[in-house]
Amino acid sequence: MELLTIGAFAKASRLSPKALRLYDELGLVVPAKVDPATGYRLYDPKQLERARLVAWLRRLGMPLTRIRAVCDQPPAGAAQEVRAFWARVEAETAERRELAGFLIDHLSRREPIMPQKLEIRYATRSENGLVRESNQDAAYADSHLLAVADGYGPSGASASAAAIEALKGIESLPAGDLLNVLDEAVDQAGRAVTGVGGADESGTTLTAMLWTGSRLGLVHIGDSRAYLRTASGDIFQVTTDHTLVQSMVDDGRLTPEEAIVHPQRALLLRALWGNGEDRPDVRLHDAEAGDRYLLCSDGLSAVVPPEDLRRVILTVGEPEDAVRELVDLAIAQGGPDNVSCVVADVSAAG
Contact residues for Mg ion, defined by CB under 5 A: 150, 297-299, 337
Q: Least distance to Mg ion from the beta carbon of 62, Å? A: 37
253 burial level (CB within 10 Å; 0-12, 13-18, 19+):
middle
Residue 137 to residue 224: CA distance in whole angstroms: 10
Residues 203, 9: Cα–Cα separation, whole Å: 56
Q: Which of 108, 197, 209 is nearest to 155 (CA)?
A: 197
Closer residue to Mg ion (CB): 222 or 280: 222
Q: Which residues contact 49 (CB under 8 A, 6 or more apart)?
A: none
The residue (of 127 and 250) whose beta carbon lies closer to Mg ion is: 127
Task: Classify residue 319 by burial, with Cβ atoms within 10 Å: 0-12, 13-18, 19+.
Answer: buried
Q: Shortest gap between Cβ of 314 and Mg ion (angstroms)?
A: 25
Nearer to Mg ion, 13 or 160 (CB): 160
Which residues are within 8 A (CB) of 176 and not within 5 positions of it... i.e. 6 or more apart? 110, 111
In the complex, minimum distance from the CB of residue 297 to Mg ion, in angstroms, rounded to a whole number: 5
Min CB(253)–Mg ion separation in Å = 24
Whichever of 212 and 340 has its CB closer to Mg ion, that residue is 340
Residue 53 vs 163, nearer CB to Mg ion: 163
| Shortest reach from residue 255's CB to Mg ion, in Å | 23
Q: Would you say 268 or 344 has its CB closer to Mg ion? A: 268
CA-CA distance, 261 to 257, in Å (whole number)?
A: 7
Q: Which is nearer to Mg ion, 105 or 328 (CB)?
A: 328
Please tell me the distance from the alpha carbon of residue 270 to that of residue 280, in angstroms, as a whole number.
8
Strand 281-286 to strand 235-237: parallel, antiparallel, or no bridges (unpaired)? unpaired
Contacts of 322 (CB under 8 A, 6+ apart): 123, 294, 312, 313, 316, 343
Residues in Cβ contact with 286 at an 8 Å cutoff, skipping those fewer than 6 apart: 112, 214, 215
Nearest CB to Mg ion, comparing residues 151 and 190: 151
Q: Kind of pairing, strands 292-296 and 225-229?
A: antiparallel
Nearest distance from C-beta of residue 338 to Mg ion, angstroms: 5
The least distance separating Mg ion from the CB of residue 337, rounded to whole angstroms, comes to: 4
CB of 302 to Mg ion, least distance (A): 8
Q: How far apart (Å, rounded) are the C-alpha atoms in residues 223 and 202?
A: 15
